[in-house]
């Protein structure tokens, strides 16, 4: 596996990205003033020792670790066993936040606590931020919001949410709206639904998939 995490000491946030599907991802390192990104190659189970080492290095130099896996089954609104198995591995190695992509539909959000009591907030899939696909569930996306707090007791996740967005298509133009800003008047002009689309339909689709609880779970005994 190529690539090493780039660490910015003053900001103390490490972001690790791994492609967990069969297609290789373009490996590159992107430096930003407040975030470090590592985009790796496609990963197999045999690479887990190397991944664990990278996570350990990131944890040694940062307050929290955020990981972006490219995983999951396309168009499945539930996480598969492959995702859950990797979640357990990432949690055991101390990843704090996971923000997933690939299925092209939104998936649930989970506040996961492993056997050791370690907490990982996982957004299994953000869906499509912008889409030219042909159904409500495929035109839905989610914007992940996570508030991290650092004080005398350490660094922790204070709150998180997944806020729905939707791709509106009209006159050959594609526009992304946060669902809170979308209206029935606009929805009726969506070119794919013949005037029948409503915000309530979109909201029910999203709420039927995503279960977000911002309460911190009880730690395992």
Give the mean pLDDT of 41-54. 76
Q: Which runs of E-coded beta strand occur in 44-139?
A: 64-70, 97-99, 109-113, 119-123
Report the distance separating Cα 111 and Cα 157, nearest Å: 11
Report the distance separating Cα 36 and Cα 14, nearest Å: 5
Question: What pLDDT, on the 0 to 100 scale, is given for residue 50?
Answer: 84
pLDDT over 80 (residue 118): yes
Long-range contacts of 183-192 (CB under 8 A, 24+ apart): 192/134
The two tokens of residue 87 are: 């979640």
Share of the chain above pLDDT 90, in %: 58
Give the mean pLDDT of 138-166. 93
Question: What pLDDT, on the 0 to 100 scale, is given for residue 46?
Answer: 79
Q: How does strand 97-99 pair with strand 119-123? A: parallel
Report angle CA 116, 117, 118 to the nearest 5 degrees. Answer: 95
Question: What pLDDT, on the 0 to 100 scale, is given for residue 19?
Answer: 53
Question: What pLDDT, on the 0 to 100 scale, is given for residue 168?
Answer: 97
Report the distance separating Cα 106 and Cα 139, nearest Å: 10
pLDDT over 90 (residue 221): no
> Which pTM was predicted?
0.81
pLDDT over 60 (residue 182): yes
Question: What pLDDT, on the 0 to 100 scale, is given for residue 47?
Answer: 81
Give the mean pLDDT of 4-15. 45
């Amino acid at each position: 596996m190529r690539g090493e995490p780039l660490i910015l000491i003053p900001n103390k946030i490490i972001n690790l990205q791994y492609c967990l599907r069969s297609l290789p991802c373009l490996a590159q390192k992107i430096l930003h003033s407040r975030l470090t990104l590592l985009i790796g190659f496609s990963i197999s189970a045999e690479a887990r020792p190397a991944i664990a080492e990278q996570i350990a290095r990131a944890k040694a130099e940062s307050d929290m670790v955020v990981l972006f896996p490219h995983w999951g089954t396309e168009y499945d609104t539930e996480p598969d066993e492959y995702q859950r198995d990797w979640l357990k591995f990432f949690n055991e190695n101390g990843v704090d936040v996971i923000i997933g992509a690939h299925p092209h539909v939104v998936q649930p959000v989970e506040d996961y606590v492993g056997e050791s009591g370690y907490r990982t907030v996982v957004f299994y899939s953000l869906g499509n931020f912008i889409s030219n696909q042909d159904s409500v569930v495929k035109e839905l996306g989610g914007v992940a919001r996570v508030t991290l707090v650092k004080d005398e007791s350490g660094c922790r996740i204070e709150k998180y949410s997944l806020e729905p967005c939707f791709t509106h298509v009209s006159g050959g133009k594609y526009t992304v709206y946060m669902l809170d800003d979308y209206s029935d008047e606009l929805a009726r002009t969506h070119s794919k639904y013949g005037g029948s689309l409503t915000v309530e339909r979109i909201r029910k689709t999203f709420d039927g998939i995503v279960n977000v609880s911002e309460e911190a779970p009880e730690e395992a005994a």
